[in-house]
Amino acid sequence: MIEVVGIVFEKGSRIYYFSPNNNSKYQKNDRIIVETDRGLQIGTVVQENIELPKSKLKLPLKSIYRIAKEEDENTQIQNKEDSKKAINKVEKLIANLKLDMKIVDAEFTLDKRQLMFHFVSENRVDFRELVKEIAKIYKTRIELRQIGIRDKAKNVGGLGVCGRELCCSKFLTEFDNVSINMAKNQNIALNPTKINGACGRLLCCLTYENDLYSDLKKELPSIGEFVKVKEGKGKVIAINVLKQAYKVQLENNEIIEIIK
């Protein structure tokens, strides 16, 4: 078992584990500075000192550098402002180079050793010339990373069709595979405005209750199946999964409801 501290760099992002600095104890919501492959970054503690098996960790672990100070937070704020300005400059470069891509966000590391851009595009993009032009302006390490439409929604944020903050922005750290069969399994109308999220893809929340519906359906007959009940024989014409009930049309056309 190894003692670690879990931190996130952005709300709703995945948890990264770091080794405590000199076995220091950290509290939830502490703002700390860590050394990453990209450079120094500020993170927030979401899991206080805990012990995890080696099998669940990516070794070797990097150590926490120190607690963030007020001047670090101010630097972070200024970096975010500089990142926004960088987006405007890069969009002009993209237009000049006639590249088929759209910048979603940009981020400086705390020490400005690296400037990363996330972008979306329908196709693969040769951005080597763009990287050279950006490096001439900022004199630092430049990285461009293509992301999917769901990642864009996560970064941009917004409200879902339910009226709540997007799950991907709030707490989802990974995207599960979502299929149209999940909507069918839950008897949801296949209306794109109802089953598609802000990203235009199927709602991530279709996965939340899908297993429950599958289990509950095992106790019910299928629509179209012929069954025998105490009132006689008939055909199942509707099921209510959550109520654990189904309707049967008898041979005399009478419709009855059976509750399990």
- Whether residue 105 is contained in a domain is answered as yes
Last residue of a domain, one of 147, 175, 202: 147
Segment 179-196 shows an average pLDDT of 90
Percentage of residues in the chain having pLDDT higher than 70: 99
Is pLDDT of 134 > 90? yes
For strand 114-120 and strand 141-146, is the pairing parallel, antiparallel, or unpaired?
Answer: parallel
Question: How many folded domains does the chain comprise?
Answer: 4
| CA-wise closest residue to 151 among 127, 190, 119 | 119
Residue pLDDT, tens place only, 194-241: 899 888 899 999 999 999 999 999 889 988 999 988 888 999 999 999
Whether 230 and 187 share a structural domain:
no
| CA-wise closest residue to 103 among 92, 119, 89 | 119
Whether 94 and 142 share a structural domain:
yes
- Whether residue 34 is contained in a domain is answered as yes
Q: Which domain holds residue 85?
A: 73-147
User: What pLDDT does 130 receive?
Assistant: 95
User: What pLDDT does 12 receive?
Assistant: 62
DSSP string, 7-21: EESSTTPPPEEEB-G
Q: Tokens 């050394």 correspond to what residue?
A: 35
- Whether residue 218 is contained in a domain is answered as no
Which pTM does this prediction carry? 0.71
DSSP string, 126-174: --HHHHHHHHHHH-SEEEEEE--HHHHHHHH--B-TTSSBPHHHHT--S
User: What pLDDT does 151 receive?
Assistant: 83
User: What pLDDT does 126 receive?
Assistant: 92
Whether 113 and 51 share a structural domain:
no
- Whether residue 152 is contained in a domain is answered as no
Residue pLDDT, tens place only, 38-78: 889 999 999 999 888 888 888 888 889 899 999 999 999 99
Residue 105 near residue 118 (C-beta atoms within 8 A): yes
- Whether residue 221 is contained in a domain is answered as no
User: What pLDDT does 249 receive?
Assistant: 92
**Taking all residues of the chain, what is their mean pLDDT, rounded to a whole number?**
90
Whether 112 and 86 share a structural domain:
yes
Is pLDDT of 173 > 80? no
The H or E element containing residue 117 is strand 114-120
**Which CATH number do you get for residue 115?**
3.30.300
Distance CA 180, CA 194 (A): 12
Whether 78 and 124 share a structural domain:
yes
Last residue of a domain, one of 100, 119, 147: 147
- What do you get for the CA distance between the two ends of the chain, in Å? 48
